Structure 1
């Protein structure tokens, strides 16, 4: 079974509570879930939060939205992903994060197809798209091996760090995007209050419920030029 695991917790250091902040009428998590409704393939969606008291509100949000919520270790994100995959029986894991309001679902569909066609352990398109737009796909076996062999502190901070440090051990691939989307200099993630303001600007001026990557890039450029 293929599952999308969205890591999301309230305890962000730079912008606490951002995942449930109002982004032009909807929370950040709601924007992500609404965009995922456009995914072509049958996938299960789980929001993986921490087991800390402050993330009770994330579980309440999930319950209201009818989406699965998994709660695990706050700091050991690798183990949180692994435990979540085990709980839901995922043999293929799509990693997304709760601070990216503009995931490109068209590119997600392409990435999933690419991953299975090439029979990969790890595939990604985040390195060819604006920051916060891409994703990665990890096989259960690669995730399990990562947890078993992880040794550095950074390996536990994200589910892909061990794999990235040992890429030659895995069958991996990068899916390129169209040139007009390949703006890796553009930030479309939300880490700071400035990122939040830009995301709200994009959502307000796009005049659509589904902002495309090209629209987000164009509006990001306008926002940044207006700040100069």
Structure 2
């Protein structure tokens, strides 16, 4: 089974509560869930958040919508990932998606997952050589590799490192492979980290979502060509 883990929380320092900020009438976190579910290679989606009381409204909302949520220690993302995998059942690979990425592209998820399966690498994704806009990062790792780094990483290190980063840092131990975009779009940043970023995301959703809820990377690029008001926010 390929498990997608979406990291989400309410305590972003620059845009608190952004996970629940609306995009076309639904919280951003729900729009992300919808998009991840469109990936053909993903068997299950779990939203991983913390056990901090600040994340209670987020967890309650998702559960009310029938979405599986896993809550763990806010200070140790690696441990949270491992516990999430254990709770999900037999998992071969894990897809990591960050909660500041409302433009996550199902097609890019599938490309990463297929590459991971075909190559049999422990890690596959589009971060080894950055060519995609920030906010479209997709990383896939084997559950075995994630369990390995979790078991051997001291808690003080795990508290300030991502599980995927721990794997990326050991290419000689964990075979890795990547893929790139047709052009270099790495100068673009489509993450939602500030109120201005959220305004950009809302404007793009207003422009594209009504006609195609599954709009992708090239749809956003196309509309930026004709909308200078959006283009100035996109970089």
Partner of 1:130: 133
What secondary structure is seen at the aligned counterpart in 1 of 2:47? strand
Deviation at 1:211, TM superposition (A): 2.5
Distance in 1 (CA, whole Å) between partners of 2:222 and 2:189 is 12
CA-based RMSD: 2.2
Counterpart residue number, 1:149: 152
Q: 1:160 to 1:37 in 2, by over 3 A?
A: closer
Report if the CA contact (8 A) 2:131-2:181 is conserved.
Answer: yes
1:4 CA drift (Å): 0.5
Match of 2:67 in 1: 67
Indicate conservation of the 8 Å contact 1:85/1:91, yes or no.
no
Alpha-carbon shift at residue 141 of structure 1 (Å): 1.5
Per the alignment, residue 15 of structure 2 pairs with: 15
Q: Does 1:118 align with 2:119?
A: yes
Q: State whether residues 39 and 106 of structure 1, in contact with CA within 8 Å, keep that contact through their aligned partners in structure 2.
A: yes
How far is the alpha carbon of 1:220 from its aligned partner?
4.9
Residues 186 and 220 in structure 1, CA contact (< 8 A), matched pair in contact too = no
- Specify the alignment match of 2:195 in structure 1: 193
What TM-score comes out, normalization by structure 1 length?
0.90
CA displacement at 1:42 relative to structure 2: 4.8
Q: CA deviation at 1:61?
A: 1.6
Q: Tell me the equivalent position of 1:104.
A: 105
How much does 1:131 deviate? 0.5
Structure 2: how far apart are the matches of 1:37 and 1:151?
Answer: 34
What do residues 4-30 of structure 1 show as CA deviations (whole Å, max 9, x unaligned)? 011111111111110011123221111
Question: Which runs of 5 or more residues in structure 1 are unaligned?
Answer: none
- 2: CA distance between counterparts of 1:9 and 1:133? 18
| TM-fit CA distance, 1:210 | 2.7
The alignment covers a number of residue pairs equal to 226
Name the residue aligned to 1:160.
Answer: 164
State the alpha-carbon separation in 2 of the partners of residues 148 and 226 from structure 1. Answer: 42
Conserved 8 A contact 1:198-1:220 = no
TM-score normalised by length of structure 2: 0.88
